[in-house]
Structure 1
Amino acid sequence: LSAAKGGRARLPAESLPAAAAGRKGLAFARFQRLDFVYLNAGIMPNPHVNFKALWHGLLTGKVLHMLTTAEGIMTQTDRLNGDGLQEVFATNLFGHFILVRQLECLLCGNEKPSRLIWTSSSNARESAFSLSDYQHAKGRESYSSSKYATDLTSVVLNRKFNKQGLYSSVVCPGLVMSNMTYRILPVFLWKLLMPIMWLIRFFAKTYTLTPYNGAEAHVWLFKQKPEHLDALVKYHSCTSGLGKSYVEPRKVNGAAASCCRGLG
């Protein structure tokens, strides 16, 4: 969080109590406004790779798409948290949403615009999300569902709060080697696959691989004027085959925009 008095406060958003505590902490600090809130906390519990689907993608020519979006090849086993909510939904989206609502008085109505920057994913897919099961209690792609819901939430927040000076954006850091990634496959296997992944980068520019490259879109957005950004765009961190980092804007799924019009 970037605060008006020159200080910075880092708050966890993994749970609803943490979000409420964060609001109290800022109140004690007597911040007059917040300029930026980066909503980045996320989990992917018990990930499983569907190697059969991956092999099918290889035979049908869809393997590159599957490797860049994890569509059809990645599932998770979710569970309820202490608040009785699905853990992935609560951590990846709902805790952030509650935090934003708690901080609303510090984010809206300021002389300068305030910004929300959500970390989404290229794995966010409409087919994994349902309004009738928005916590994804009945499915096995809770991560994809939560990230698609994040995209929806950002669009709706822009519709409701832009006139009050609050702007929301979503970014995708690409495939980054992190603690979350290392839970999908054993670390030694990732090490063996790394040369192949460097080659794939020539065709799959979202293979950013390092946290530094993955943060490209976050840093780029920090420098932009929010009034000039498209609320229906997700900003992807990309890295060329030769290692050059850049940002590529891509439209949020059309169905997401349509859904948000209905929600609004």
Structure 2
Amino acid sequence: MKLVTFDPFRTLGLPGVRYIKPEHMQQHREELAAADWLLFPGYWQIHSLHYVLKRRIFPSMSSYHLGHDKVEMTRALQTACPDHIPATLITSADSYGLSQILDQWSFPFVAKSVRSSQGMGVWMIENRQQLYEYAERESVLYVQTLLPIVRDLRIVVVGEEIVASYWREGSGFLNNVSQGGRVRTDLPVPEAALSLVSGLARYLDINHAGFDVAMVDGHPYILEFNRLFGNTGIPDLSTRVSEAMQRYLLGPVASPASDTSVSA
């Protein structure tokens, strides 16, 4: 099994992996064309690698395309599972878009940048002035209902497995661990959330993502998913991720041999 990675840090622990710098991709075209899997390319690489070289890519093309920004993601999720997405409006950052929001929405609500992660680019909008300031910064307006929650779930999918699930609880508006939220493993994770994420990931062929899920009166709502998620939530998460990747890419029996060679 020939594996080529473009991100050595996300493939630590995988046996027989060859690292090639993304910017040197064209210098190694024959090697890439002969690989069984190409791992963690940059978004700018995937069309050449998949459509031209016809190689299998991990994470999947669906993970890349649907997770590219919140507009693509939300529209796909609204089509796939509309009852599990918070009410969301995506509109233009102009007078028409602002009038839509002011006519249809009541303060407070959540506003997001369409390309952001780790809780960055997320704001609570409580008045007109905050809405106008948000619109000045963005080219697309993305607003979402403010759910009555004090914590949310992170559910991590790798391959076809859920490798971790835990609550995140913040002291303020955001629950992200990177924004000061704390992990809660003492609370049970609802089966409804696990079932929703597992079924949706399989249906959409999303095979490497951290799903953020809110529970409201026992009903799960998917807030978003991140193709490149952090491993700081629980101590052994990086090991779980690596082992699940190995099972998915190499099958149940993998060679212990390891090639850590690096191409400059």
Give TM-score, length-normalised by structure 2: 0.25
Relative to total residues, which structure has the larger helix share, 1 or 2?
1
Relative to total residues, which structure has the larger strand share, 1 or 2?
2
- Larger radius of gyration, structure 1 or 2? 2
| Structure with bigger RCO (C-alpha 8 Å, 6+ apart) | 2
Give TM-score, length-normalised by structure 1: 0.25
